[in-house]
Amino acid sequence: MIKFLDLHKVNKRFESEFQEKFQKFLDSGHYILGKEVKKFETNFADYCGTKYCIGTSNGLDALTLIFKAYLELGKLKTGDHVLIPANTFFASVLSVINSGLIPVFVEPEKDTFNISIQEIEKSLTSNVKVIMAVHLYGQLANMEAINTFANKHDLLVIEDAAQAHGAKTNSGKKAGNLSHAAAFSFYPSKNLGALGDGGAITTNDALLAETINKLHNYGSEKKYEHSLIGNNHRLDEIQAMFLNIKLSYLDADNLKRQEIAKRYISEMNNDKVKLPFYNKSQNHVFHLFVVCVKDRDSFISYLKKQEIETLIHYPIPPHKQVALHKYKDLSLPITEDIHNTVVSLPISPVMNPNEVTQIINTINAY
């Protein structure tokens, strides 16, 4: 059986380093917001090329904290509208709603599945104050066009970079440094994954970073002194420790993902299977390798019989979720077609060439 993602194998590579660091962590007696969190915040800011990084409890909290900080600073007000890709993961939408803002669903590009600048232009109203760009599946959205449009209309731009750790533009700027602020998730399956929940915010805005630092720690900058109504959304010290170890391997792991993707794209040849758009640049780190198949159930069943695991990212678009029933009558045909046809194939830095070959041959025979 070729697993969709063998997390045990992914993390087994770092076992001795984990154990050594864990013993030091255990001996330190300092388990919350200690040296490892500070070290990771510095390291990840340096990696992304930003001035600031704030570790958070998860990716959803990271996005929500950005919105709440802008509300606190008066850059946003309750009821403002946020343009958001209609085909994103549900957490992106939750961050908007949980902050008292209103999501406006925007259709994606047909090739990259990222938010369409043409559809952004059509969706602009006087109520819109933010564009959320989601780098879906690990591929950067068209940030140059989005930022140009946002600057023209005085809009905030926020990156949901939860799937795009290390993706970079042709000029070398990385995800997390392409907007006013960005949110990352370190869920275990991510390209940079913790061994539990974790997230981070990156920004070059000193006042925003200061506000988020307070909000994510009970509204406090100094212990027992609270200047804001905050919450507890801190990155766990032990997860920061694991992330510090794995960060140094991220670029090499992303390169392996890209190499597998290039093999898939160049060697898969089946008219029934639509391959993802990829221009062979560094702007896609292939958190997921997603194909489109019209008869999806038959395709998944076929691969399962050949002992190849797959997943669907994502089977139900946000506007069709029960929780968002008031949006159920929206007409979003591109988004709905994507959600009805996508299948994610195995891709990870621990796959061997024989597994890749087996997947290619199996799909070509479908």
Residues 243 and 272 in one domain: no
Ranges of residues in the chain with a pLDDT under 70 are: none
Residues 154 and 258 in one domain: no
In a domain, 307, yes or no: yes
In a domain, 23, yes or no: yes
Residues 261 and 210 in one domain: no
Residues 172 and 305 in one domain: no
- CATH number of the domain to which 307 belongs: 3.90.1150.10
The alpha carbon of residue 131 and the mean position of all alpha carbons in its chain are separated, in whole angstroms, by 16
Is 248:199 a contact under the CB 8 Å cutoff? no
Q: What's the domain count of the chain? A: 2
Please list, in sequence order, all residues whose beta carbon lies within 8 angstroms of the beta carbon of residue 19, skipping any fewer than 6 positions away: none
Residues 234 and 177 in one domain: yes
In a domain, 2, yes or no: no
The whole-number pLDDT of residue 273 equals 98
Q: What is the pLDDT of residues 99-119, one digit of tens each?
A: 999 999 999 999 999 999 999
The whole-number pLDDT of residue 167 equals 98
Residues 265 and 241 in one domain: no
Is 159:133 a contact under the CB 8 Å cutoff? yes
In a domain, 232, yes or no: yes
Residues 118 and 214 in one domain: yes
The residue among 342, 339, 332, 336 whose CA lies nearest residue 107 is 332
In a domain, 59, yes or no: yes
User: Which residue type is seen at 27?
Assistant: D
Q: Given 205, 226, 247, which residue is the final one in a domain? A: 247
Residues 229 and 308 in one domain: no
Residues 211 and 309 in one domain: no
Q: Given 247, 264, 294, which residue is the final one in a domain? A: 247
- CATH number of the domain to which 152 belongs: 3.40.640.10
Q: At which residue do the structure tokens 């992303």 appear?
A: 254
Q: Given 212, 247, 282, which residue is the final one in a domain? A: 247
In a domain, 1, yes or no: no
| Containing structural domain, residue 328 | 250-364
Q: What is the 3-state secondary structure (H, E, C) of the chain?
A: CECCCCHHHHHHCCHHHHHHHHHHHHHHCCCECCHHHHHHHHHHHHHHCCCEEEEECCHHHHHHHHHHHHHHCCCCCCCCEEEEECCCCHHHHHHHHCCCCEEEEECECCCCCCECHHHHHHHCCCCEEEEEEECHHHECCCHHHHHHHHHHHCCEEEEECCCCCCCECCCCCECCCCCCEEEEECCCCCCCCCCCCCEEEEECCHHHHHHHHHHCECCEEECCEECCCCCECECEHHHHHHHHHHHCCHHHHHHHHHHHHHHHHHHCCCCCCECCCCCCCCCECCCCEEEECCCHHHHHHHHHHCCECCECCCCCCHHHCHHHHHHCCCCCHHHHHHHHHEEEECCCCCCCHHHHHHHHHHHHCC
pTM confidence score: 0.98
Residues 341 and 356 in one domain: yes
In a domain, 285, yes or no: yes
In a domain, 135, yes or no: yes
Q: What is the pLDDT of residues 46-82, one digit of tens each?
A: 999 999 999 999 999 999 999 999 999 999 999 999 9
Residues 40 and 110 in one domain: yes
Distance between CA 276 and CA 170 in Å, rounded?
A: 19
Structure tokens at 203: 């920004």
Residues 203 and 337 in one domain: no
The whole-number pLDDT of residue 96 equals 98
